[in-house]
Structure 1
Amino acid sequence: MAAMPNLQVTDCSSLFAPRLPSRPHSRFIPKASLQQPHHHSSSASPPSLVNRRQLISQTASLSLSLATLSTLPLPAKSEEVLSEWERVYLPIDPGVVLLDISFVPDDMNHGFLLGTRQTILETKDGGNTWVPRSIPSAEDEDFNYRFNSISFKGKEGWIVGKPAILLYTSDAGESWERIPLSAQLPGDMVYIKATGEKSAEMVTDQGAIYVTSNRGYNWRAAVQETVSATLNRTVSSGISGASYYTGTFNTVNRSPDGRYVAVSSRGNFYLTWEPGQPFWQPHNRSIARRIQNMGWRADGGLWLLVRGGGLFLSKGTGITEDFEEVPVQSRGFGILDVGYRSEDEAWAAGGSGVLLRTTNGGKSWIRDKAADSIAANLYSVKFINDKKGFVLGNDGVLLRYLG
């Protein structure tokens, strides 16, 4: 590929010709069977202490007086308590895959949740209840958009999706405007970050990074070429699997200071980029198994997940190829994402309801067994701040942090 083009849009009313949607890439991890509750039958008087799960499972067989029931905590109608997490049930089709979540910084009760099948949900009570939102400019076309990423800075917000679509709001999401994009955009948009007033940073699955400072009417390329062009031009780089690379990113994660780490679609190497660098920098993996996902720890170091299960932490902070494995109790299911609440506390999520917690920076992890009954893959952990966090899963599963 030639040098990365700068994208200029001068007429906001003329939209690009959208490409046909393609089947979204998915990672299959077998689901665990739902654990059936044990029902107890007894003619004796009920126990004095009954938690929410026991109350739900024993209601059909226990005969309690109205006076006794009034003294017991009633189960939430729309959620299921899971240790420090609760499940929030959403008004969506079970087949929807949730992809990203973000809140308005000036109002942490006001947020948006994105997914496949043109799903946009809005909450105004901190994530307890959600209602569907529609975008007229997106519904006018016969495309089933997959909304990949959302980000807010102040009252300004951005949404990107596939087929190529860019939405912008300046009033905290009360209204959304569609910003036209150039047909020369290389790859599909998978990530966007609001960086300042009328400013944002956008990444495609081919490694293109674009920045705007005038609410999306013009975009400047931050890298000179796509990852494919970089790797195919530098075939002597010594990166295993990089020669004649024609794939895309499997995952991409951004640090708070603007650095990126991305995993190749085959998982055989990873790439990094720092502001000011003209090209992505490829890195060999030091682990035999292929990489599933990578991201940034709260202290500036890296975490790395391998396919089939396995968690590794980089030695020290910054970009490195030196990792050491940390033992985790994942029950044989793969771990798909890690989210840090602080430098010491983090949560990891994975297949068949795997949910793990560390309180010592990742040195040891404890499994939250209360989530074992969720027959879904939990693949995204998002902490908005130290008090607000969410876990996203397939089949419309959403967990909200209670700690």
Structure 2
Amino acid sequence: MAMMTPNLQATDCSNLIPSLTSLFPPRLLHRPLSLPHSRFISKASLHHPSSPPSSSSSPPSLVNRRQIISQTASLSLSLATLSSLPLPAKSEEVLSEWERVYLPIDPGVVLLDIAFVPDDLNHGFLLGTRQTILETKDGGNTWTQRSIPSAEDEDFNYRFNSISFKGKEGWIVGKPAILLYTSDAGESWERIPLSAQLPGDMVYIKATGEKSAEMVTDEGAIYVTSNRGYNWRAAVQETVSATLNRTVSSGISGASYYTGTFNTVNRSPDGRYVAVSSRGNFYLTWEPGQPFWQPHNRAIARRIQNMGWRADGGLWLLVRGGGLFLSKGTGISEDFEEVPVQSRGFGILDVGYRSEEEAWAAGGSGVLLRTTNGGKNWTRDKAADNIAANLYSVK
């Protein structure tokens, strides 16, 4: 799941289910350049036009010696000239900004989220299934298994879905319902009790300030706390299922087939949310102060895979089977245009923006794409081409 402040989600490639968190803070990989193989130069030199013609008045042995001397001089000159000239750049020699990091986890573990402590960017945590929590204190180069006693009191095999830090305060949510809180940058974690009546499973949490956080369930419930999680206030008045049942006649295509859960949910820096329905047939948005989620028809024929926010405040949208769309303008919109990408026929699963101009996209079979002009053009990074796995998330 760098940092980009995007920071990218991978498991062992033998199980074909890692995510981009196997690729961590960007580092340059230094590769020495080499001269072209000398045999190609010698072939050109053997047909050099300066080779003297044979003379009928000269002995055959003398003619051959002269030709050999001439050809040898031409070859030496060619080598000397080439060694003094800069070599042309080749696309396969472009240095990648990613390197793979191997993790001490079981083959069946799926990685789900990653976060670093803002006050110490070398200190971070990586979450996954099977109660997996990994910790690094060297910027992601090495990771160790982390045990949290308060999360091991019961015979549950927790799936840790989301982690977020604000200063030294951090939050973790998982399934079955579990909430962990730290005030010392993760040196110790406290378990916060939760009501068993929560609608849905907690899939996302965001640290928003001192002792404050927002928590989202897969049924669209949003809860806010400002006192370290001891009390939570509902930010929306009903679940998404209830909203759609009330508005099923509003013209939202596919609402009658809605199963009541989100496939993905993403939050913008200013607190707006966009979520994709579990079937991918429409999407929903929510802004602070709104009592309900707002459903939107998709303008694309294919079902939606994932959606999120660009650094300029606009939306990006991925469709199943491959395809990247960007909304026109900023803010919430239903008007999208497709952007051509070189995904080699594999679907794209996530996009992460580092700035308004630079972003990365990740997808099936090790697809890594980069843009440096706000998403208008994308180029492929070959760093993960040899990893037989899907890259699920980039942050």
Pair in the same fold by TM > 0.5: yes
Deviation at 1:247, TM superposition (A): 2.7
Is the Cα–Cα contact under 8 Å of residues 284 and 294 in structure 2 kept in the other structure? yes
Is the Cα–Cα contact under 8 Å of residues 128 and 161 in structure 2 kept in the other structure? yes
1:12-59 Cα shifts (integer Å, max 9, x gaps):
99999999999999999999999999xxx9999999999999999999
CA RMSD, 1 decimal: 14.3
Structure scoring higher RCO (CA < 8 A, sep ≥ 6) equals 1
Is the Cα–Cα contact under 8 Å of residues 130 and 157 in structure 2 kept in the other structure? yes
| TM, length-normalised to structure 1 | 0.74
Alignment match, 1:17: 25
- For 1:134-283, what aligned pairs fall within 5 Å after superposition? 134-243=147-256, 245-283=258-296
Instruction: Tell me how far apart the structure 2 counterparts of residues 262 and 26 of structure 1 sit (CA, whole Å).
Output: 58
User: 5+ residue gaps in structure 1?
Assistant: 382-403
Instruction: Tell me how far apart the structure 2 counterparts of residues 292 and 53 of structure 1 sit (CA, whole Å).
Output: 71
Deviation at 1:137, TM superposition (A): 1.7
Is the Cα–Cα contact under 8 Å of residues 259 and 278 in structure 2 kept in the other structure? no
1:251-296 Cα shifts (integer Å, max 9, x gaps):
0000000000000000000000000000000000000000000000
**Is residue 102 of structure 1 aligned with residue 110 of structure 2?**
no
User: 5+ residue gaps in structure 2?
Assistant: 14-20
Higher mean displacement: 130-139 or 54-63: 54-63
Instruction: Assess, with a 3 A threshold, how the Cα gap between structure 1 residues 108 and 238 changes in structure 2: closer, same or farther.
Output: same
Instruction: Assess, with a 3 A threshold, how the Cα gap between structure 1 residues 69 and 139 changes in structure 2: closer, same or farther.
Output: farther
1:134-175 Cα shifts (integer Å, max 9, x gaps):
111211211111100000111110000001000000111000
Q: 2:43 aligns with which of 31, 36, 50?
A: 31
Is the Cα–Cα contact under 8 Å of residues 189 and 202 in structure 1 kept in the other structure? yes
Is the Cα–Cα contact under 8 Å of residues 168 and 176 in structure 1 kept in the other structure? yes
Higher mean displacement: 208-217 or 86-95: 86-95
Higher mean displacement: 306-315 or 11-20: 11-20
Instruction: Assess, with a 3 A threshold, how the Cα gap between structure 1 residues 83 and 139 changes in structure 2: closer, same or farther.
Output: same
Q: Secondary structure, in 3 states, of the residue corresponding to 2:61?
A: coil
1:234-260 Cα shifts (integer Å, max 9, x gaps):
121110011363331000000000000
Q: Larger C-alpha radius of gyration, 1 or 2?
A: 2
Alignment match, 2:7: 6
Higher mean displacement: 283-292 or 23-32: 23-32
Instruction: Tell me how far apart the structure 2 counterparts of residues 264 and 137 of structure 1 sit (CA, whole Å).
Output: 33
Instruction: Tell me how far apart the structure 1 counterparts of residues 312 and 144 of structure 2 sit (CA, whole Å).
Output: 36
Higher mean displacement: 140-149 or 304-313: 140-149
Is the Cα–Cα contact under 8 Å of residues 42 and 75 in structure 2 kept in the other structure? no
1:300-329 Cα shifts (integer Å, max 9, x gaps):
000000000000000000000000000011
Deviation at 1:370, TM superposition (A): 3.1
Instruction: Assess, with a 3 A threshold, how the Cα gap between structure 1 residues 15 and 90 changes in structure 2: closer, same or farther.
Output: closer
Q: Secondary structure, in 3 states, of the residue corresponding to 2:41?
A: coil
Deviation at 1:220, TM superposition (A): 0.3
Instruction: Tell me how far apart the structure 2 counterparts of residues 27 and 66 of structure 1 sit (CA, whole Å).
Output: 11
Instruction: Tell me how far apart the structure 1 counterparts of residues 62 and 136 of structure 2 sit (CA, whole Å).
Output: 34
Instruction: Assess, with a 3 A threshold, how the Cα gap between structure 1 residues 363 and 355 changes in structure 2: closer, same or farther.
Output: same
Is the Cα–Cα contact under 8 Å of residues 78 and 89 in structure 1 kept in the other structure? no
Superposition misfits of 4+ residues, deviation over 6 angstroms:
1-37, 41-82
Higher mean displacement: 55-64 or 301-310: 55-64
Is the Cα–Cα contact under 8 Å of residues 315 and 331 in structure 2 kept in the other structure? yes
Q: Secondary structure, in 3 states, of the residue corresponding to 1:82?
A: coil
Which protein is richer in strand relative to its size?
A: 1
Instruction: Assess, with a 3 A threshold, how the Cα gap between structure 1 residues 135 and 17 changes in structure 2: closer, same or farther.
Output: farther
Instruction: Assess, with a 3 A threshold, how the Cα gap between structure 1 residues 10 and 299 changes in structure 2: closer, same or farther.
Output: closer
Deviation at 1:63, TM superposition (A): 27
Deviation at 1:11, TM superposition (A): 42
Higher mean displacement: 46-55 or 285-294: 46-55
Instruction: Tell me how far apart the structure 2 counterparts of residues 292 and 27 of structure 1 sit (CA, whole Å).
Output: 51
Is the Cα–Cα contact under 8 Å of residues 350 and 362 in structure 2 kept in the other structure? yes
Instruction: Tell me how far apart the structure 1 counterparts of residues 214 and 63 of structure 2 sit (CA, whole Å).
Output: 51
1:204-233 Cα shifts (integer Å, max 9, x gaps):
000000000111111000000000000001
Instruction: Assess, with a 3 A threshold, how the Cα gap between structure 1 residues 368 and 64 changes in structure 2: closer, same or farther.
Output: farther
Instruction: Tell me how far apart the structure 2 counterparts of residues 47 and 100 of structure 1 sit (CA, whole Å).
Output: 78
Higher mean displacement: 4-13 or 127-136: 4-13
Is the Cα–Cα contact under 8 Å of residues 156 and 172 in structure 1 kept in the other structure? yes
Q: How many residues align?
A: 378
Instruction: Assess, with a 3 A threshold, how the Cα gap between structure 1 residues 269 and 57 changes in structure 2: closer, same or farther.
Output: farther
Instruction: Assess, with a 3 A threshold, how the Cα gap between structure 1 residues 21 and 345 changes in structure 2: closer, same or farther.
Output: closer
Instruction: Assess, with a 3 A threshold, how the Cα gap between structure 1 residues 299 and 3 changes in structure 2: closer, same or farther.
Output: closer
Instruction: Assess, with a 3 A threshold, how the Cα gap between structure 1 residues 90 and 6 changes in structure 2: closer, same or farther.
Output: closer
Alignment match, 2:17: none
Is the Cα–Cα contact under 8 Å of residues 132 and 160 in structure 2 kept in the other structure? yes
Is the Cα–Cα contact under 8 Å of residues 11 and 103 in structure 2 kept in the other structure? no
Q: Secondary structure, in 3 states, of the residue corresponding to 2:164?
A: strand
Instruction: Assess, with a 3 A threshold, how the Cα gap between structure 1 residues 238 and 228 changes in structure 2: closer, same or farther.
Output: same
| TM, length-normalised to structure 2 | 0.76
Higher mean displacement: 170-179 or 19-28: 19-28
Q: Secondary structure, in 3 states, of the residue corresponding to 2:38?
A: coil
Which protein is richer in helix relative to its size?
A: 2
Instruction: Tell me how far apart the structure 2 counterparts of residues 190 and 349 of structure 1 sit (CA, whole Å).
Output: 21
Is the Cα–Cα contact under 8 Å of residues 26 and 97 in structure 2 kept in the other structure? no
Instruction: Tell me how far apart the structure 1 counterparts of residues 121 and 66 of structure 2 sit (CA, whole Å).
Output: 30
Instruction: Assess, with a 3 A threshold, how the Cα gap between structure 1 residues 322 and 79 changes in structure 2: closer, same or farther.
Output: closer
